[in-house]
Amino acid sequence: MPSLRETLARTRNSILGRIQTVLGQADISDETWDDLESLLLQSDIGAPTTEKLLTNLRKRAASEGIVKASALRGVLRSELVALLGPKATPVHDAKLLLEVIMVVGVNGSGKTTSIAKLCHLYLKHGRKIVLAAADTFRAAAIDQLQIWGERSGVPVIAGAPNSDPGAVVYDAVQASFNRKADLLIVDTAGRLHTKHNLMQELKKLRNVLSRSVHDAPHQTLLVIDAANGQNAINQAKGFAEAVGVTGVILTKLDGTPKGGVTFAIVNELGIPIRYIGTGEKMTDLQEFDPEAFVANLFDEKE
């Protein structure tokens, strides 16, 4: 399992790492602010979030009487941590008979892989899991989930290719009750958000869940490929409007310099990051920890 430090290497080495050069030994000048702004903008943090950060930094520099640019490093870090909000605590309510997690996201973002990783994590916590293969549009998608299920000994409820995903979800709820499972994770299809019918389909699935299990889905996790950078924001808005999203699984941080998008997601969408994907293996999922995340974005040798 790669460490967070390894996972963030590309992001750290690309742009965010250069911030320490800008925030060097000289006194703060207009140039410091300009350079900082342009680096933040290049780092996929996005314009609204960059603006917010700079406003806060300027205020703190003034009120705390900061003169040296290097003294802004710590302030920047604390502002970045504050932006990400508190570490999300596990939301499992033990009184819930059956918890339902619906997983959504565009195709290829890493939904099925992330579900396998979530299984691995929750099995360690002693949960009894059923998976629903509600991505019925591609036979390969059903197979992929079944392979993961077999590997970890978790039953996968699936239908025939092109069958009604609502029926699959309904069957999966019944199977969960029959098997006395306490966690049902639903995999869904992921065409582009611009195709209205996908969103309609997801809404239908959501309704089947809410009619079958009290308060379900208890979590709706949106899987976002970090390599999509700023494009991920609009995608996420589409899903959030259609099905309501309670948390984000940010995948493929290991392969991209665009880790700055993490801040844009939380700030612009107001949705917390719950997990991050750090590789392709079952064990490559970490609970998101804002402080550790920010600490590993910068070079420790500063």
Ligand X SMILES: Nc1nc2c(ncn2[C@@H]2O[C@H](COP(=O)(O)OP(=O)(O)OP(=O)(O)O)[C@@H](O)[C@H]2O)c(=O)[nH]1
Which residues of this chain interact with ligand X, rule CB under 6 A? 105, 107-113, 135, 141, 190, 223, 251-252, 254-255, 277-280, 284
Measured distance CA(149)–CA(241) in Å, rounded: 31
Measured distance CA(236)–CA(211) in Å, rounded: 25
Closest distance between ligand X and the C-beta of residue 66, in Å?
A: 38
Residue 205 structure tokens: 């699935």
Task: Report what 277 binds from ligand X, Mg ion, none; CB cut-off 5-8 Å by kind.
Answer: ligand X
Nearer to ligand X, 50 or 286 (CB): 286
Nearer to ligand X, 69 or 186 (CB): 186
Closest distance between Mg ion and the C-beta of residue 38, in Å?
A: 38
Task: Report what 43 binds from ligand X, Mg ion, none; CB cut-off 5-8 Å by kind.
Answer: none
* SS3 category, 220: strand
DSSP assignment of 145-163 = HHHHHHHHT--EE---TTS
Beta-carbon contacts of residue 34 (< 8 Å; ≥ 6 apart): none
Nearest of 4, 8, 42, 84 to residue 256 by alpha carbon:
8
Measured distance CA(192)–CA(257) in Å, rounded: 23
Tell me the residue number closest to ligand X, measured at CB.
277
Closest distance between ligand X and the C-beta of residue 301, in Å?
A: 27
Residues 103-142 that bind Mg ion (CB under 5 A): 111-112, 141
Number of residues in the chain: 302
Residue 179 structure tokens: 């098997």
Task: Report what 107 binds from ligand X, Mg ion, none; CB cut-off 5-8 Å by kind.
Answer: ligand X
Task: Report what 109 binds from Mg ion, ligand X, none; CB cut-off 5-8 Å by kind.
Answer: ligand X
Task: Report what 27 binds from ligand X, Mg ion, none; CB cut-off 5-8 Å by kind.
Answer: none
Applying CB under 5 A, which residues contact Mg ion?
A: 111-112, 141
